[in-house]
Structure formats: C-alpha cells, structure tokens
Amino acid sequence: MKIVVAIKQVPDRDAAIRMAPGAKEIDERELQWAMNEPDAYALEEALQLKEKHGGEVIVASAGPERVGTTIREALAKGADRAIHIVADDLGARDALGVARLLARAVAPESPDLVLTGLQSEDRGEGQTGVILAELLGLPHATLILHVDRTETGLRVKRELEEGWHQWIEMPIPAVLTMQSGGNKLRYATLMGIKRAKAKELRAVSAAELGVDATPAIVLEGMAAPQKQKSTQILRGSPREAAAELVEKLKTEARVL
Amino acid sequence: MSCILVVEEARRDGSTRVFQETLAAGRRLAELTGLAVEAAGVGEPGRNIFAQITGAQPAAGHAIRHELLAAYTADGYTLAFEQLIRRLEPRYVLFPHSYQARDFVPGLAARFGQALIGDVTAIGEGPTFARQLYQGRMHATYRHAGGGPCFLSIQNGAFRADEGAGGTMPVSEFTPALEPAQIRTRPGTPFRETAQTVDLSSAQRIVGVGRGIKDAEKLPLVEDLAGALGAELGASRPICDNGWLPMERQVGSSGQTVAPKLYLAVGISGAIQHLVGMKGSQCIVAINKDPDAPIFEVADYGIVGDLFEVVPALTEAVKAAR
Ligand SMILES: Cc1cc2nc3c(=O)[nH]c(=O)nc-3n(C[C@H](O)[C@H](O)[C@H](O)COP(=O)(O)OP(=O)(O)OC[C@H]3O[C@@H](n4cnc5c(N)ncnc54)[C@H](O)[C@@H]3O)c2cc1C
C-alpha cells in the first residue's frame, strides 16, 4: 500500500502561547515546536500498515522552513520519503486553502490511503482530512482508532461520542483522520535518525502549486480567554495553600 | 429567500439539546442580521423531526427524507444537504458541533468553496464568530468574507436553549436525488466497548488526573489524595490513551460525563473535550503549574504550583482535617 501521511508542526504542548503585536498571530520567537500529536498517531498507523502489508509511507507537511525538523522526525521514525510544501502564510489561509495545497501536492502520488490526525493542537479545526477527501474525490472516515485491510478495502473503527464506537467498511483509495490512543507511539531510534538523513525530502513551494490563497474565513483578532467564574487562587507555600484549600472546601464550599 | 438554516441532530438517546442550543445561536444571528431562522433535518417517513423545539419556532422546517439516509454516512449527508442548500440558498448554515458534523460539514462547505467556522462559542456584532485556538489557551474572532453561504458549527453548551412553550411551523418535505453507488462507505451498528464497572457519574468526589503527572509511576500520589478524600479517580484522555488508567476512568466528551460535589483537577490543562465532561460539577478545584491554563477559567479554587509538591501537602492537610 502506498500511504501518504499529512503531518503538521505545532507549538510544543508546554510552550507558553503569547500574542504577537497586532493580535493576529502568536509570538513565535521563543517557541519550541513538535509534531501534532494526532498526526503522530496517523504516522504510527501508517508505519504499522506498511509493516504488515508492505508498501511505502510518504509524509507531506505544509509550513515554513522550520517544519523540516518535524519532517525529519517522521523520516527517522520510519517514513520512506517526504514532501515539504514550503509556505510562510499558512496562518492567513483557511482550512480549505491549506487542504488545497496538500491536495495538489498529494494527488500526483495516487496514494491508496491518506492518513492525517483528526485535528491540530494549534487551530484545532479538524477539517483538513475531510476537505482533502472531498478535493481528491475519495471516500473518508474520521476519528479512527484502528484500521484493518480487507480483500476489498478497509474496515475501520470509528469513535463516536460518550464511549460508543462503530465499524465502517470502505473501499480504497480513501482518506482517514486518526484519533489518539489507538496505538502506542514509537520513538525514533539512533539508527532511524541516521538513516533519515539519506531519505528523499522534496520541497515544493506553495506558489508552484498554484493554489488560490484567498480565504473565505478571515481572522479578525485574538485575545486571551476570559474567566467564566471568579477563581480564588490560593497562595503561599504548598502547605499553606493546601491548608487554606481544605478549610475553604469544608466551610465555604461545604464539599468535605 | 436568504435565511439562517439550522440543522437538527438528535443524540443516540433521542435528546435534541445540542440542536436546541444551535437554534438559539441561529436566533442570535437573526437578531443581528434580520434574517429568518429555518430548520432542516433528516428523518424517516412519518417522524416529526421538529416536534421537540421549544420556544420561538423557526419560520419553516425542511424534512429531508430518503431511504439511503437511514444510517448516517458522510457521502449521503453531504449530497442531501448540498442539494437542499442549493435550493434554499441560505446565507448561514448552522450545525451542532458534533462528531457527525465534524465528519461531513468541512467537505460540504468545500463543495461551496467555503471553509467551516467550527466550534463557535459566541456570535457578536458584524457578525463575528468566536472560537478557541491552542486548546483553549487563546480565543479568536472570525468574519465570513462574503459570497456564498457561511457554514458554522456551534459548541455544545455555548448557547442556552430557549425554554418557552413550543408551537408549530410549516414543514415541507425534501427528497434528495441519491443513488446507492454514491454512498461509498458501509457503517456498522454503534456499540459500546466493555461493560463499565466504574460509574463515575454517581461519585460524590472525583480527583481527575492529567498529563501533568508525567509518568504512570507517579499515580500513587493522586491515588493517596483520592483515598484521603474518599474520592474516585478520574482522568483526562492522554492518561487513558497511554494505558496508565483504564478507559472507563476517562472524563470528557469521549468518556464519562460527571457532576460530583467536588472535582479536583490535577495537572489537567482544561481542553474543551475535558471540560464538557466535568464543568457541571458543584465545586471545581484546579492544581496546575501554568497560571494561564484554561482549567482555571472554570475552577472555583485554584493552586498555581508544582503538583508534585502541592498534592502531597494537600493529602496531608485532608488527613489532618478528618
Ligand atoms: C474528538 C476528541 C475527543 C476527546 N475526548 C476527550 C475526553 O473525553 N477527555 C479528555 O480529557 N480529553 C479528550 N480529548 C483530548 C483533549 O483535547 C486534550 O488533549 C486532553 O484533555 C488534554 O489532557 P491533559 O489536560 O491531561 O493534558 P495537557 O493538555 O498536556 O495538560 C497537562 C497540564 O498539566 C500541567 N502540568 C504539567 N506539569 C505539571 C506539574 N508538575 N504540576 C502541575 N501542573 C503541571 C500543564 O501546565 C498542563 O496544563 C479529546 C480530543 C478530541 C479531538
């Protein structure tokens, strides 16, 4: 099976998110970056499918120069080659605009399967995979935890709300968006990191792909969240704060 | 003809609360734009899809009926709604932000050259639409650039359903043109994984543990606290994904919904998918080293600090007080 995995680089989970002047972007200057976690699960599924059924795993990622480190990480984990769609203006494109870039870059590969995470940890729109399927003219399923190859295509396990699940049968080629937790994620080995250096990483500029960047959705501005409740923050040493909390839970909230 | 079209969706238990909330968002948009609210939904013949609507009634209802829509598929729903939208030409189309909407609305919107504004939490003058970024650590407002319908999905719990008495409205039937070959996926019957042996929904106190705990070996720290409080242990999704605690202890949109007297969140950031499962708790306490963690937005009491210092101190304080 030829599998394309679309991955995104996002701010590291523990990074402090601060606004840049103008309130339309976050301040990227001191950020650490990481592979979007649901995409890491998509990559893991792809690598396991390849181990079981043979084939090739190609990662595709759109973003500026820095995205290269996340692509190398995917190659080190076992992907065979990569396509980097070099674009400095992802933040100004809406989900359709980004998916158009990916679709243009991925279509010539004619993959049997396209996998991606169910949503990104930055914008959290959860649209890329579904739009990709639409643009590539392929069937899709979202929130997938498990993928089986069948004689005619795939049998996938989809997560539904509140602990429910469902199996779906579908033909290939297809697009799936992966939910976290279906597999154990692997780490890159030293050998993998060494090998990654020799793997093909093809860069293609967004301009070359000739995709309309005009968004249907425009960001007006960003702001720090407002509190819904007035939280009492208890200060002091851990012991002092703990003692005060117990007192408040007993006498004020009356829940102890 | 231009209207605000609100799409119905019922939960597995028949509840239409999220639809009613989405209708409330539609009414808010109607106030701002002067457009009329209409409703649409898929249903088998004879079922009055809109029977449960309370409060102000939409101006009209559109009942989409087709045997190929008996079970939800992305292909079937995309085609059906595409046809209805081309006929009605609404200015706005609103969906509840459900797993089902996530599954097909982005593709439906793309068919109209649009992107969905998903998981909307508020609607302001303009109109502008608010949603969260960075797992709740930032809020953003968006505007539709115009030209073509604007697709929105509305966050669960963000708008309050209108509770006035219901009424009636004219309902027209819509039969989309669908062929079996157009439906490319075959969905199976929904099932539940395992019988649940832990019922968190009836617990009086819950200690919820999140990724801040770093390591499965550190779990005894929160187990001791739960023991001292006489509380059940709950967890955020990554803890269960990693297999550190069983799935049945997961709190949130894909786990259990809980409403104890006390919910104590330890090292949990407060992503919306976790909040929907516990924000109905009577008293919420958060322990987190990040003062900007979204969990503090819903907490009654908070301690900003390292859980590895705060939790043992709290366990001691609880024991001393009992
Ligand atoms: C469709 C879907 C369904 C989902 N369903 C659920 C669900 O049912 N339940 C659920 O929980 N999530 C669910 N999620 C995942 C959710 O989006 C979040 O990723 C998840 O809740 C984050 O878990 P967390 O808060 O434990 O981890 P993180 O977001 O990583 O937060 C860890 C927190 O710990 C704090 N911390 C770190 N170290 C320390 C320390 N030493 N002392 C104190 N604090 C510390 C950090 O400041 C941070 O705030 C779902 C996601 C999707 C897309």
Interface test with A, best of B137, B155, B207, B256 (most A CBs within 10 A): B137
* Residue A158 to residue A52: CA distance in whole angstroms: 21
Residue A240 lies in a domain: yes
In this complex, the residue of A159, A168, A256 whose CB is nearest that of residue B185 is: A168
pLDDT band at B31 (very low <50, low <70, confident <90, very high): very high
Residue A204 neighbours by CB under 8 Å, 6+ apart:
A83, A84, A85, A86, A105
Are residue A129 and residue A194 in the same domain, yes or no? yes
For B153, name the nearest residue in chain A, comparing CA atoms only: A125
| CB proximity under 8 Å: B 215-234 to A | 229
Question: Could you tell me the CATH number of the domain that includes residue A26?
Answer: 3.40.50.620
Instruction: Please give the CATH architecture assigned to the domain spanning B200-321.
Output: 3-Layer(aba) Sandwich (3.40)
Q: How far is B263 from chain A (nearest CA, A)?
A: 10
Helix (H) or strand (E) holding A158: strand A153-159
Q: Is B186 on the interface with A (CB under 8 A)?
A: yes
Residue indicated by tokens 């859980």: B307
Same domain, A45 and A155: yes
Q: Residue B171 — φ and ψ, nearest 5°?
A: -120, 125
Average pLDDT value for chain A:
96
Task: Determine whether B175 is exposed, middle or buried from the number of CB atoms within 10 Å of its CB (0-12, 13-18, 19+).
Answer: exposed
The pLDDT-based confidence of B45 (bands split at 50, 70, 90) is confident
Number of H helices, E strands in chain A: 7, 13
Question: Per-residue pLDDT averaged across A89-110, rounded?
Answer: 96
pTM equals: 0.95
Q: B289 CB under 6 A from ligand 1? A: yes
Contacts of B92 by beta carbon, 8 Å cutoff, 6+ apart: B4, B5, B26, B29, B33, B35, B149, B150, B151, B152
DSSP one-letter code for B176: -
User: Do residues A125 and A244 both lie within one domain?
Assistant: no
My answer on whether A16 and A105 are in the same domain is: yes
CA-nearest residue, atom 23 of ligand 1: B236
Q: Which residues of B touch A228 (CB under 8 A)?
A: 297-298
H-type alpha helices, B70-218: 74-88, 99-111
ipTM score for this prediction:
0.96
C-alpha torsion sign, points B5, B130, A37, A195: positive
Residue A197 lies in a domain: yes
Specify the fold of B3-182: Rossmann fold (3.40.50)
B294 touches chain A (CB under 8 A): yes
**10 Å Cβ neighbour count for B162?**
16
Tell me: the pLDDT tens digits for B104-157?
Answer: 999 999 999 999 999 999 999 999 999 999 999 999 999 999 789 999 999 999
Tell whether A219 is covered by a domain: no
Tell me if B94 sits within 8 A of B41, measured CB to CB: no
- pLDDT, position A107: 98
Whether A211 and chain B come into contact, CB under 8 Å, resolves to no
CATH 3.40.50.1220 range(s) for chain B read 200-321
Q: Is A31 part of any domain?
A: yes
Q: How far is the CA of B253 from the centre of ligand 1 (A)?
A: 12
pLDDT at position A229 over 80: no
In this structure, the answer to whether residues A92 and A167 fall within a common structural domain is yes
Tokens of B81: 């709604």
Q: Do both A46 and A159 map to the same domain?
A: yes
Which of A126, A168, A255 is nearest residue B188 as measured by Cβ atoms? A168
pLDDT band at B194 (very low <50, low <70, confident <90, very high): low
Same domain, A203 and A88: yes
- Assign residue B74 a region (left: φ > 0; alpha: ψ between -120 and 50; beta: otherwise): alpha
Query: Cα B195 to the chain's mean position, in Å?
Result: 24
Tokens of B117: 């504004």
Among residues A5, A8, A163, A7, which one has the least CA distance to residue B237?
A163
- Residue range of the domain that includes A201: 2-209
Domain assignment of residue A125, yes or no: yes
B113: left (phi over 0), alpha (psi -120 to 50) or beta: left
**Half-sphere exposure in the Cβ direction for B101 (13 Å, CA):** 28
User: Are residues A235 and A172 both part of a single domain?
Assistant: no
